[in-house]
Amino acid sequence: MSFDKNLFTNKKILIAGAGKGIGLACAAMAAEYGADVIAVARTESDLDKLVARYPERITPWVMDVTSEDFYQKLRELPTLDGLVNNAGINSVGPMEAQSSENIDAVIDLNIRTLYKISQAAITPMKRSKAASIVNMSSQMGFVGSQGRTLYCMSKHAVEGVTKAMAVELADHNIRVNTVAPTFVLTPMTEPMFEDEAFKSFVFNMIPLGRLAKVEDIANSCTFLLSDLASMITGTSIKVDGGWTAR
């Protein structure tokens, strides 16, 4: 099963945090369906691999998404039809052990940077006939979980600001939604599941009894970026296998 190969023809889509995992899958899928993709990451070699797969579709930006240079370059785009805010960070541990540095890092990347990227994208998106922003949230934006106070805080904020952005930007026909994954199987998360107690906890919380794949998340982002979702704004697609339905 797949979307139409011309789904994003003549569309320009920017993926922030496109070097690995979910962001990489989103960039590849957008390119597969005809988009001109701006893939943003700090590691040039990651983007080189993406360009090698889609040389005519991928424009690599080796940039720090927290930098003013990036925001200015984004504002100067002639037009922009889609944005995936995928850059993020986590700091797992007891609340009492979270340092000021940890708190600031999570707030800065997961909330402030997402806001700044979206703010900069408004200018070129106003020149699009219909634009879409997808903010990467999490099931933790709807529930609480032990050891994840900072992540839950930031993702609840993402859900809130997404609703406000959707209302404010509707006059410009810019839609804003979130995708909220459960735990996703990636090379980065695989070692976590070597802990049998943690593995048991996670799988017992997911009624479908399996982890998400990066393609599961990219499919939802693709749908929300496309005109297929032209009447959907201010809401979330939970790709969580039922975690938050309990």
Question: How much helix, strand and coil, in percent to the nearest 5, is found in the chain?
Answer: 50, 15, 35
Query: Regarding beta strands 236-239 and 174-181, do their DSSP bridges make them parallel or antiparallel, or are they unpaired?
Result: parallel
Residue 45's contacts (CB-CB under 8 Å, 6 or more residues apart) are none
CB neighbour burial string for 119-151, b if at least 16 within 10 angstroms, e if fewer: ebbbebbeebeebbbbbbbbbbbbbeeeebbbb
Residue of 153, 171, 61 lying closest to 109 (CA atoms): 153
Report the DSSP beta bridge partners of residue 12.
36
> What span, in angstroms and rounded, lies between the C-alpha atoms of 59 and 62?
10
Written as six digits, the tokens of 152 are: 């839950």
Catalytic machinery residues:
151
Strand intervals (E) in the chain:
12-16, 36-41, 58-62, 82-85, 131-136, 174-181, 236-239
